[in-house]
Amino acid sequence: MFCGECGTQNPDTNQFCKNCGKPLRRPQPVPVTQQAAAQPAFYSPQPDTAPVIKAAPVSVPQVAASPETKVIQKLSWVGILSLIISLASWLIYPIILGMLAVLTGIFGIYAARKAGTKIPVSALIGIVIGLLAIILNFFWLEIFPPPQTLPPVK
């Protein structure tokens, strides 16, 4: 609370100014109904300072989303689907599911770019994991050769 005479800041519990000793004036609470009628909604006076005028809230008209935008917003889950398919490609049908993961990941990125949103990280990870599953399947026997057969025991 500021002193109305000298402008010194005082704790709210003080009844007199610690600098000049004058009694501090406490603002009287105004009932809500009188306060709303007495002051406009955009004006907020502050004690012993210059009044601050706040801008009235401006309502922004809502633009209806086009049907194309709604379809793209519904397709935001495609990146997650790509990630799930790519993880499944490590268990069964690595070439088929790996290709499907890469294609859904590319479609997820395309849909995000068209909608103007961020590129989904899950789609990128799905593409990489799907490609790794395909590559590993092609070179499996070169990376992990079959064990050498032992001669029969006599």
CB distance 84 to 77 below 8 Å: no
Residue-wise pLDDT tens digits, 28-82: 665 655 555 555 555 555 555 555 566 666 555 555 556 655 555 556 688 889 9
| pLDDT band with cut points at 50, 70 and 90 for residue 146 | confident
Task: Please report which confidence band the pLDDT of residue 148 belongs to, taking 50, 70 and 90 as the band edges.
Answer: confident
Backbone φ and ψ of 84, nearest 5° = -65, -45
- Which string of DSSP letters, residue by residue, matches 28-63? PPPPHHHHHHHS-TTEE--TTS--EEPPPP-PPPPP
User: Is the pTM higher than 0.75?
Assistant: no
- CA separation for the pair 12, 4 (Å, rounded): 14
Asked if the model's pLDDT at residue 126 lies above 90, the reply is yes
CB 99 within 8 A of CB 87: no
> Which pLDDT score, from 0 to 100, does residue 24 have?
81
How much is the pLDDT for 15? 82
pLDDT band at 85 (very low <50, low <70, confident <90, very high): very high
